[in-house]
A and B are shown apart, each in its own frame.
Chain A
Amino acid sequence: MKREKLLPLVGFSLLLICFGIALVRVFSRHRAESNPNEVVIRIAHWQLESGLRSAIDTLAREYERGHPGVRIAQNPIPERIFPSWLRTQLVGGTAPDLIEIGKGSDDETLARFFLPLTDYVEQPNPYNAGTSIADLRWRDTFVDGLAGGDCYKANLLEYYGVPLSMFTARMYYNVTEWKRILGDTPPPEDYDAFVDICERVQRHAAATGENIVPIAGSHYGTPWFASSLIGGQTQRLTQRLDDILVIKPHATEVALQFVTGRWTLDEPDFVNGLHLARQIGRFAQPGFVQSSRDDATFYFVQGRALMIVTGSWDAPSFRALAPFEVSAFRFPKPFPDHPRFGAGTYGLSSEADTPTSGAFGLTRASRVPEQAIDFLRFITSKQGNSTFSNVSGWLPSVVDVELPALVKPFEPILDGYVNGIGLEMGGGANARRVIAANLGTLFDANSDVSKLQDILNAELPRAVRNDLGRTLRQFVLNIARQDTLAAAQAVLRERRPDVTELERKESELFEAQTLQELRRAWVMHELDATP
């Protein structure tokens, strides 16, 4: 047969084979789901990291052993397509029972397609029986009381998610290379010890000709690290700016104070932070500001960098990818007694506000809601979450869970001080864009920090002001929605005076709305007064 005729035939055959496989998979799944003697609980998420999938798999098999006739089917979906996949499944009525929430799940989606979990989380988790947290309400067994992340929806006044984990950022290091180059030197406790380690690595590389740098930098991790260093330097400045006496100023307030000139980028403490970040930048590979997250990861796992800054979510991937032992330590910062960088800092920054993450919600389409809740209780029990942490290498979300040795370095620091102003400038998109576009200047060997100051002084006020304008629009959208929600709560309360919960809900909604209106009023007042 001629080649021209063969090729389409091969293509068509492949197509047919694929179609056949797809058909078999669809019908076999349909048959499995139709088995009247088996309850199938389907759980979907976007965490493709091997550690998390293995952890859910381990918990699923454990649950199945204790619950004959129940099967757990895990469905990991790529993060990029998760929102559209979610929408399709929800609208089509084919959504799994339990779905990770936080991407593509706004308030309306949750209200329409997910069941509130409030009644469940107000009761103890039966899988905690016999443990130190047996008598606690389910929600109180989580380190943040379900107040953070995607669990509680303030507008809907209901809990919609139950979390599995939480995340912190750390400096990871290659233990094998560390021992080879630095011997028994322990991870640094303070900034000077860290600088000393970095310089020793540089000297080692120069002396031996080895291709290794102290830190793998990137445009992903560097702004983060730089901001953390600056935040340490501005702890005292932040307290001086705390006009409304909350000790922990809101990001919007800090941004507003910047726009109105209450503080500037020329504050000595802020400038010290820039100097610190610049110092650390010289320990990263040349041109690191242009490097992506993946570039930096390759640098690290190939042994060409001793350390890398990233979040605890990367720990299982590093352990799977890197042909060496990996550990981590928290960012070393100068203490108040530091001769050059001590004046603006109180000391270690607290991570007590770290919220829980990886929350799962229960869909209204679930045909087995009680069993799905039971599985959720199982995996977030003290024992279940301990297994999760052990297998995944992620931090647990439940209180009193003993941390595995591998996870210990990521444990949030609870006893520290409120962090200061960093590079976030309110966290708006415009400010982020200006900073990302110009941060490279800070590490330019041919300039100094004043060059970045000049650029930011020229561009940042307008960017932050635009971000505040966007914040105001967001406030209005939220406040406007709350108007209808509040009217509904008020009517329901009058109709059902015996349901005391409705009175609390109405009161909570008005309280939340008032505080947003208060912040909006102040931002408008200050922006109007600042041309």
Chain B
Amino acid sequence: MPPPISPRLVSILAILTAPLLASDPVGDTSPWDDAALGLFADAHAAFARHKNPDRETRFGEAVTLINLQPKTDANLDRAASLLNEIIATDSTDLPGIGARYYLARIAQIHRASPDPSTAVRLYRELAGLSSPHPLAQRAVVQLALLEIFASGIDSAEVRTRFDHLSELGAGLSDPSVVRDFHLVMGDAALRFKLGDATALDHLLAAERAGIVRATTQRDTWVRIAELGRRTGRNDVAIAYYRRFLENFLRDSRRRMISERLASILAEDGRANRHVEVAR
């Protein structure tokens, strides 16, 4: 029986061959698991190895290509071509909608020279489907980001776009998309000074849809409370200040929030009354 190979020797060989091992798979997982862990090269290699790729495999190859390093125009073109192949078969089924969304993302985010007008066109087409698919609905969130925050438009145009998108957003149903849409609209209403009451309504809608991250939650609760205070909706302010204090025991805002809560309670003259959380 040959002697076992020293781990030291293995280590030295591994260092020397590190570049070759860069796409060593993590374990017994699907390419999608690798992609979810950020191991894009591994996932892409697995997708690309398929001899007879189905539409989902093509989709996997495309969405991993867009983040494959080095990021090249050739990779992005190849990804766009794969996505177009999926769309050519059917542009309204689930893979088709996913492909259309990521085609817009390539134009908006991934190209070295972004093409926002193409992205807007693709998102509008997706939003026009009125599909329940989350990625079709997410196009409305992206439209809000691209159209309201576009450079070089005057405040009247911002208002027009905001109102139009508010109508478009009314048809959204996927909870995560609804939340993100209202977070964007609430923020836009504050930044472009489109009305505190409007901003408050949007942030309350985001909160109802279900905020997941603690950091978003604490900021949103503070904003809702502050807007409640500014718009005279003291019940809302009191409820959300209290929620914040009950849930976030270590936050540098606690002292200021406690003081603002005490001030409103004193103002309302109802320090001992229980206030239901406004929902």
Query: Which residue numbers of A lie inside 8 Å of B, CB to CB?
Result: 26, 30, 87-89, 91-94, 107-108, 111-112, 143-145, 147, 154-156, 243-248, 346, 349-353, 364, 414-419, 476, 479-481, 483-485, 487-492, 494-495, 504, 506-508, 510-512, 514-515, 517-518, 521-522, 524-525, 528-529
Contacts and interface: CB of A to CB of B under 8 A. Distances in A.
B152 interface: yes
A419 B191 CA distance: 23
Given A88-B15, A245-B222, A483-B67, A511 B211 contact: yes
B130 interface: no
A484 B61 CA distance: 10
B169 interface: no
**Is the interface on chain B under 10, 10 to 19, 20 to 34, or 35 or more residues?**
35 or more
Contact of A510 (B18, B35, B180): B180
B107 interface: no
A94 B7 contact: yes
Contact of B252 (A351, A479, A485, A494): A351
Contacts of A490: 98, 134-135
A481 B255 contact: no
A508 B180 CA distance: 10
Nearest to A106: B38
Q: Which 4 A-B pairs have the closest CB atoms?
A: A92-B11, A488-B35, A350-B252, A521-B149
A245 B227 contact: yes
Contacts of A145: 214
A246 B219 contact: yes
Contacts of B251: 352-353
Contact of A144 (B15, B94, B250): B250
Contacts of A364: 26-27
A504 B179 CA distance: 13
B66 to A, nearest CB: 6
A517 B56 contact: no
Given A488-B63, A511-B179, 19 more contacts: A30-B8, A88-B15, A108-B39, A244-B187, A245-B223, A245-B230, A246-B222, A247-B256, A417-B256, A418-B253, A483-B66, A483-B105, A488-B33, A507-B175, A510-B177, A511-B211, A514-B184, A518-B145, A521-B149
Contacts, number: 193
B66 A156 contact: no
B184 to A, nearest CB: 6
Interface secondary structure of B, over-half rule: helix
Nearest to A494: B94
Contacts of A417: 252, 255-256
Contacts of A349: 252
A30 B252 contact: no
A507 B212 contact: yes
13 contacts: A91-B14, A108-B38, A111-B39, A156-B38, A244-B190, A245-B223, A353-B251, A353-B252, A479-B109, A491-B56, A511-B213, A528-B151, A528-B152
A416 B184 CA distance: 31
A488 B64 CA distance: 9
B254 A350 contact: yes
Nearest to A158: B37
A506 to B, nearest CB: 7
A479 B39 CA distance: 16
A510 B7 CA distance: 43
Given A243-B191, A483-B110, A93 B11 contact: yes
B254 A512 contact: no
A482 B63 CA distance: 11
Interface in B33-73: 33, 35-40, 43, 56, 59-60, 63-64, 66-67
Interface string B149-189: 11110000000000000000000000111011001100100
Contact of A112 (B26, B43, B142, B227): B26
B26 A495 contact: no
Contacts of A350: 252-255
Contacts of A91: 14-15, 18, 21
A243 B146 CA distance: 21
Given A484-B64, A488-B43, A508 B213 contact: yes
Given A30-B8, A244-B191, A352-B254, A487 B59 contact: yes
B67 A480 contact: yes
Contact of B14 (A93, A244, A506): A93
A504 B135 contact: no
B39 A147 contact: no
Given A506-B176, A511-B176, A143 B250 contact: yes
A51 B179 CA distance: 48
A31 B14 CA distance: 21
B70 to A, nearest CB: 13
Given A246-B219, A528-B152, A489 B254 contact: no
A418 B105 CA distance: 38
Interface in B180-211: 180, 183-184, 187, 190-191, 210-211
B10 interface: yes
B271 to A, nearest CB: 21
B191 A515 contact: no
A116 to B, nearest CB: 9
B216 A511 contact: yes
B123 interface: no
A144 to B, nearest CB: 7
A487 B63 contact: yes
Contacts of A89: 11
Interface string B1-39: 000001110111011001001000011000011011111
A513 B99 CA distance: 19
Contacts of B66: 480, 483-484
Nearest to A94: B11
A507 B176 contact: yes
